[in-house]
Structure 1
Amino acid sequence: MKGRTDVTITAATEARRPHRPRADALRNRERIVTAAREIFVEYGPDAPLDEIARRAGIGNATLYRHFADRSALVHAVVVYVMGRVGDMAERSVTEEGDPFAALRRFAHAAIDERIGALCPMLSSAFDRTDPTLEAGRTRLEVAVEGLMERARRAGRLRTDVAVGDLMVALSQLTRPLPGTCCLDMDRFARRHLQLYLDGLEAPARSELPGSAATLEDLRGAVG
């Protein structure tokens, strides 16, 4: 009887433990999100899901086990990219002694992530109030504002720009021109980003029209 009781207790204990995805399931999910990001950058958010599965090296059934529909996958990609860009901002602060060099490093890393591809995915049907998305966005905003404030205090960043100005530039530089096929878009993006960063550095060579763009301005523009 004692043996059977032990088995029963063990089974009950296992049932109460929180379910943890298997390592292979986590790897598949990561492969799907990474492949989806690449496909969305190349073809937009309406790209075929079977092409995403093919590039991830998994079957369609596996994709749908992880993401019930396109909306769930798009959400995961947005959160993933936002997290990666937030990581880049935080690493730039800790690994670069020069404040403007840290800002420059972050900006170049962010365009390599092609964050402009997120913009078409933030459609009116996208839930911008989702807690996971809100947490990632807040973390990114705090990290980038910290980068810019650090450079501003050091006298390296002009005082009439804000986080929104930088994020608009990073978004626009990573989106292909309409009606064109820029096969070497990355080269142009890095070149023009360098021109933009030169314009951010203090002392300013001109007076900017209007007021600095804040992140609240950007949220109002897409809301």
Structure 2
Amino acid sequence: MQRGAVAVADRAGRAAGGVSRPRADAVRNRERILGAAREVFVEQGAAAPFDEIARRAGVGNATLYRHFPDRATLVHHVVLYVMDRVTVHAEEALAQEPDAFAALCRFTHAAADERIGALCPMLSDDFDRDHPELLAARTALEEATENLVTAGRRSKLLRDDIAVGDLLVALSQLSRPLPGFGCLDLDSFVHRHLQLFLDGLRAPSHSQLPGRPVTLEDLRQHRAAPPM
């Protein structure tokens, strides 16, 4: 079982009282629901019908409600699901790519495919941004992304006047669907513009950036920032 699926199983076990890990079919159903909900929320917003989510997941409404009894619970777990998967992409990219800049590019494009830029619009005023599970997932993602940026700067492949916050803000903005355009074709639009941004991060730099590098602490001080 991949790490993302393990996280889903562990959370499902805690929701059931923590006595045992749920059956494999229950984990698969849960992952299908979360994946379908992510796509439907990107296309239609967090108020999308549960019927459509169940249909795309290939499960009955009863199964959906058994795992996620209300909308707030489902949104909470979709956010965790995406963050866990993006963290895995960061760790795998750094471990497997031949150089640090290639790892950064791989991670950025993979994170866009996970629809991470669509998380911010999903977070309503009553979303619990300080939930312990969310804080733990955010910390893991921040550390994994920080490791990528640090490796890039140490290798001299990444310009030295940027910080991890610059990457996360750009990723969030460039991978977010534009209002009125529905769900964009990531292959023809988002990935093209992400690569333009990434090329601007290469060292040596050809311009001087205004302001100062955006740090994780800068992001934490602004509650409207991405949940990363």
Give TM-score, length-normalised by structure 2: 0.85
Query: Is the contact between residue 44 and residue 117 of structure 1 (CA under 8 Å) also seen in structure 2?
Result: no
Q: Which residue pairs with 1:78 in the alignment?
A: 79
Q: Which residue pairs with 2:168 in the alignment?
A: 167
Aligned residues: 207
Query: Is the contact between residue 29 and residue 66 of structure 1 (CA under 8 Å) also seen in structure 2?
Result: yes
Q: Which residue pairs with 1:201 in the alignment?
A: 202
Q: Return 5+ residue gaps in structure 2 as ranges.
A: 1-17
Secondary structure at the aligned position of 2:221 is classed as helix
Deviation sequence 1:107-151 (CA, Å, 0-9, x none)? 111111111111112222111111111111111111111111011
Secondary structure at the aligned position of 1:222 is classed as coil
Query: Is the contact between residue 112 and residue 186 of structure 1 (CA under 8 Å) also seen in structure 2?
Result: no
Query: For the residues of structure 1 that align with 2:185 and 2:30, how far apart are their CA atoms?
Result: 30
Q: 1:148 to 1:60 in 2, by over 3 A?
A: same
Query: Is 145-154 or 58-67 further displaced after alignment?
Result: 58-67
Deviation sequence 1:81-121 (CA, Å, 0-9, x none)? 10100000000111012111111111111111111111112
Larger-Rg structure: 1
Percentage of pairs with the same residue = 66
Query: For the residues of structure 2 that align with 1:130 and 1:100, how far apart are their CA atoms?
Result: 33
Q: Which residue pairs with 2:34 in the alignment?
A: 33
Query: Is the contact between residue 176 and residue 185 of structure 1 (CA under 8 Å) also seen in structure 2?
Result: no
Secondary structure at the aligned position of 1:123 is classed as coil
Letter in 2 for 1:32: I
Letter in 2 for 1:83: D
Counterpart mapping for 1:90-105 below 5 A: 90-105=91-106
Query: Is 170-179 or 17-26 further displaced after alignment?
Result: 17-26
Shift of 1:22: 2.7
Q: Which residue pairs with 1:210 in the alignment?
A: 211
Q: 1:177 to 1:44 in 2, by over 3 A?
A: same
Counterpart mapping for 1:4-153 below 5 A: 18-153=19-154
Q: Return 5+ residue gaps in structure 1 as ranges.
A: 1-16
Query: Is the contact between residue 43 and residue 182 of structure 2 (CA under 8 Å) also seen in structure 1?
Result: no
Over aligned residues, Cα RMSD in angstroms? Answer: 1.7
Query: For the residues of structure 2 that align with 1:159 and 1:194, how far apart are their CA atoms?
Result: 19
Shift of 1:183: 4.8
Letter in 2 for 1:102: A
Q: 1:72 to 1:26 in 2, by over 3 A?
A: same
Higher helix share: 1
Q: 1:47 to 1:186 in 2, by over 3 A?
A: farther
